[in-house]
Chains A and B, each alone.
Chain A
Amino acid sequence: MSIVTSRDGGVLIVVPGQRLDTNSAPEAEKRIASEIEQGETRILVDLGLTDYVSSAGLRVLLKATKQLKQVGGALALCNINPQLQEILDISGFAMIMPCYATVEEGLRSLRA
């Protein structure tokens, strides 16, 4: 799995690969934790390339959300496929991690 990061203003955009699951989650967790340790406080996770997120992937996102909250920051998700969005809504995870339709909307929210 390859994770691509970029920066737009004060927001770090993280783009995971096709699957964020038990096998790929450790690398994603390490990468995001490293960014937070280096001072990132606002992270937008662009799931536009990600077909599948398991509970292990959700753990990575929840952990980052918690870590960022502790330093006054925030994490948001965007570009989520409709099936994953439905599952995030049903399970209540969307209430913990704000979800936006596009990168632009996510950036706008994190900069507000």
Chain B
Amino acid sequence: MGIPEIEVDVVIPGQTRYLAMVGNIGEQIASAIDRYSGDRDLLAYSLNLALTEAVVNAIEHADPNGPEHKVHVHIRLADEDLRMTVCDQGHGFDLDTLPPPDLDDMLERGRGLFLIRNLMDSVASYRTPDGHVLEMTKSLG
């Protein structure tokens, strides 16, 4: 595994007022990446949107009876692979049990994950002792 070109680790309160800040981190990473030949503005928008949607999901799935809710965002770029994880202590969800996206019926649930799946190369969801993790990866090569 190569030395990470960029690594960002941030913990925020589980409140929507911090969403723009998290999204801005995604945009800043897009502008800081070396040797990217794609559309940098589109990458910035995509990282902003994917991170924001993942944090919104974490906030929505928070345990209302749990301790003060925090969301841990970790972003790591190494070997042209960008890996972003969003971890929280909430209930989480199983990606495999989510219904397939139906564009005509997306008023209530699923738009955020639908967007993330369209913007990133792979999306995974799993539990660790620290909580529920949504992992998003994108190849920038």
Q: Which residues 10-63 in B have Cβ within 8 Å of A in the complex?
A: 16-17, 19-20, 23, 39, 41-42, 44-46, 48-49, 52-53, 56
Q: Is the CB of B115 within 8 A of A55?
A: yes
Residue A72 CB within 8 A of the other chain: no
Q: Is the CB of B19 within 8 A of A96?
A: no
Q: Is the CB of B45 within 8 A of A56?
A: no
Contact partner of A23 among B17, B45, B49, CB < 8 A? B17
The complex places the Cα of A92 from the Cα of B102 at a distance, in Å, of: 10
By a CB distance below 8 angstroms, the chain A residues around B111 are 55, 58-59, 62
Given contacts A54-B52, A55-B56, contact A83 B41 (CB under 8 A): yes
Shortest beta-carbon distance from A68 to chain B in Å? 14
Residue B119 CB within 8 A of the other chain: yes
Could you say which interface size class chain B belongs to? 20 to 34
Q: Kindly count the residue-residue contacts between A and B in the assembled complex, taking CB atoms under 8 Å apart.
A: 64
Contact partner of A66 among B41, B53, B107, B119, CB < 8 A? B107
Residue A84 CB within 8 A of the other chain: yes
By a CB distance below 8 angstroms, the chain B residues around A82 are 41-42
Residue of A nearest to B52 (CB): A54
Interface mask (A73-112 → B, CB under 8 Å = 1, otherwise 0): 0000000001110110011110110000000000000000
Q: Which of A52, A55, A84, A86 has the most CB of B within 10 A?
A: A55
By a CB distance below 8 angstroms, the chain B residues around A55 are 53, 56, 111-112, 114-115
By a CB distance below 8 angstroms, the chain B residues around A58 are 111, 115
Interface mask (B97-121 → A, CB under 8 Å = 1, otherwise 0): 0000001101100011011001100
Offer 16 A-B interface pairs, CB within 8 angstroms, sorted by A.
A19-B20, A22-B56, A54-B53, A55-B56, A58-B115, A62-B106, A62-B107, A82-B42, A83-B41, A83-B45, A83-B46, A86-B45, A90-B119, A91-B115, A91-B118, A92-B103
Interface residues of B, Cβ cutoff 8 Å to A: 16-17, 19-20, 23, 39, 41-42, 44-46, 48-49, 52-53, 56, 103-104, 106-107, 111-112, 114-115, 118-119
